[in-house]
Amino acid sequence: MAKKVSTKKAETEAQEAPVVLRPDADVAVEKRLVALYTLQSVDSEIDKIKIIRGELPQAVQDLEDEIAGLHTRIDNFTAEIKETEAANKTRLAEIDEHNEQIKKYQKQQDNVRNNREFESLNKEIEFQQLEIQLCERKNKEGKAHVSELKQHIEAAKVLLENREKDLDAKREELTSITAETEKDEERLRKMSAEQEQFIDERYLTAYKRIRNAARNGLAVVQIDRDSCGGCFSNIPPQRQMEIKMHKKVIVCENCGRILVDSDIAAKAKANLEK
């Protein structure tokens, strides 16, 4: 008797359960979704290659920038030394002129007619002597500055030599890694460009925008355990049904990533294996 009741209950539930008929997918949309997921898969592989390289490209760029800065610093110091030495040379010539003026005034003192003329010439001599002292003091400061600049140049050259060695080592390491992955990356970039041809400009722009904003570079993700494969927020059953219909491109309401189902993922995988 219990068996009959159970069977009758199952039949009733089967009659009451709604029958969901999936309409035919929009072929154009489906192709677009497959192309988007294929593009994402290819770009993710390129990202893995970049991870293998690590921070080497940036390290090489930083060293190149630092070396360029050191060259500029050395050039600036060298130019400043030439400028300071030229100024010192000019002041030496001025000292000679002042000495000539002193001799001239001293000679004139031998022929003065009164004390006032003598005192006037004496003041001129004192003035020339002060000018000589000023020039000598500036030349002394200039020589000290030149000596200091030369020390800075030597320190910069030592640092430059070390940085150039570091750069050579980093470049060699980067070249080695690049050589290992260059063919794969070239193949993947070609595939990426091919897939972009099958995607409308607005969807491609949206894909790149989302991808650039995402920390992991994922713009197109598959539903995994009823959740978005990007931000892991729950996807309602009705939304999942719409995604499986392939009628339109649907994005995650939480993170904005484009969502696809396992069917699209499988077709994209087959697409890559061709």
DSSP letter, residue 21:
P
Question: What is the phi/psi pair of residue 221, to 5°?
Answer: -130, 155
Query: For residue 81, which of 126, 142, 17 has the smallest C-alpha distance?
Result: 142
Distance CA 207, CA 216 (A): 13
Residue type, 70: L
Per-residue pLDDT, 5: 38
| Domains, in order of start, for the chain | 1-53+200-274 (no CATH), 54-182 (1.10.287)
At residue 257, the 3 state secondary structure works out as: coil
Specify which residues 221 forms β-bridges with.
259
Torsion, CA 157, CA 162, CA 163, CA 168, rounded to 10: 130
Sequential pLDDT tens for the chain (274 residues): 333 334 344 344 333 333 333 445 578 889 889 999 999 999 998 888 888 777 888 899 999 999 999 999 999 999 999 999 999 999 999 999 999 999 999 999 888 888 898 999 999 999 999 999 999 999 999 999 999 999 999 999 999 999 999 999 999 988 888 887 777 888 888 888 888 888 888 889 999 999 998 888 999 999 999 999 999 999 999 999 999 999 899 999 999 999 999 999 999 888 787 6
Helix runs in 23-114, H state only = 27-53, 56-109
CB atoms within 10 A of CB 59: 16
